[in-house]
Amino acid sequence: MSKKEKIILDVDTGHDDAIAVLVAAKAEKIDLRGITVVSGNQTLPKTLKNTLSICDFAKIDAPVYAGMDRPLVREQVTAPDIHGESGLGGPTFPAPAKTAEDKQAVDFIIEEALNSEGELILVPTGPLTNIATAFNLKPKIKEKIKKIVLMGGAYGLGNITPSAEFNIYVDPEAAQVVFDSQIPLVMTGLDLTHQAKATQKIINRISELDNRIADLSVELIEFFRQTYKNTFGFDSPPLHDPCAVAKVIDEDVFSTKEMRVDIELNSQLNRGRTVCDFYNRTKKEPNAEVAINLNKEKFWNIVIKSLSKY
């Protein structure tokens, strides 16, 4: 088997982050060095508790680190309409026995990058506050990071506003730091993740696995289905965050196009928009591989393969 990829998964655990954690933890291709948590879908105490609950319930032993509890400069924005008041509406968990490590997530990211000999991949699936803070505190770690594969942004429509995707909207200044980092970067935006809808057929395939984590995943997807139906009128909910994890597992799971991406920081209407130079009109150096087309068969096989291992 090919070499495992060392990753840090940086999450704001809501429903799709939870499934991203479950998929990453059992992927043969991944060496999950740690899970860092940020505020986003809910406040940090809630996203941390959700992450610990998932790891506890699924017996995932990767260390969990609490990170930043608010965006770099903006007021906090959360998503109770999508993920519920707890950030992980639907299933109930016993109080997690697992606890967060003492080290701050940002310190862990810095240390791990410095020790990784250029092999570390960052996989952020929430607002980019932890990652940007690490880069701001220790700029030299940027040379040590192999790649960033993030979920966020869109070259088309937004989801928190008509223009902007949630993760980037919540902390646009942090996003600009990350897109300016000159680290090879894959932007897994809504244009791609909306191709990853968990249809009834997919839910049935997961149910048939017949293990407690597959059952938990179905429960999470069912809650998500309801909020996506209410908010967006979608029949099936898109599993955004597992798409970024899947890209680390199999490079061919989706196609990308190289382009320059900048973040709108000043406008009222377009705050947090990922301005993607799809047609290279600015002639600026590209800074991102933007996700375009999902190979759905590969994607669901990756998700289901990991879930079958519980």
129 binds, among ligand BDR, Ca ion, none (CB under 5 to 8 A by kind): none
Which of 163, 167 has the CB closer to Ca ion? Answer: 167
Residues near ligand BDR (CB under 6 A) are 14, 16-17, 41, 79, 82, 125-126, 151, 159, 165-167, 240-241
Q: Between the CA of residue 62 and those of 7, 34, 36, 142, 235, what are the distances in Å?
A: 11, 5, 10, 23, 34
Strands 261-263, 274-276: parallel, antiparallel or unpaired by DSSP?
A: antiparallel
What does the alpha-carbon distance between residue 275 and residue 172 come to, in Å, rounded to a whole number? 12
Pick the catalytic residue: 10, 12, 191, 241?
12
The two structure tokens encoding residue 198? 């968990």
Q: Does 17 bind Ca ion (CB under 5 A)?
A: yes
Min CB(250)–Ca ion separation in Å: 21
Residue nearest to ligand BDR (CB): 166
Q: Is 61 a catalytic residue?
A: no
What does the alpha-carbon distance between residue 166 and residue 159 come to, in Å, rounded to a whole number? 6
Q: Which stretch binds Ca ion (CB under 5 A): 16-24, 110-118, 258-266, 272-280?
A: 16-24
Min CB(157)–ligand BDR separation in Å: 11
165 binds, among Ca ion, ligand BDR, none (CB under 5 to 8 A by kind): ligand BDR
Q: Does 126 bind Ca ion (CB under 5 A)?
A: yes
Q: Does 104 bind Ca ion (CB under 5 A)?
A: no
Q: Following DSSP, what letter does each residue of 230-299 receive, concatenated?
A: HHH--SS-B-HHHHHHHHHH-GGGEEEEEE-EEE--S-STTTT-EEE-TT--S-PPP-EEEEEEE-HHHH
Catalytic positions = 12
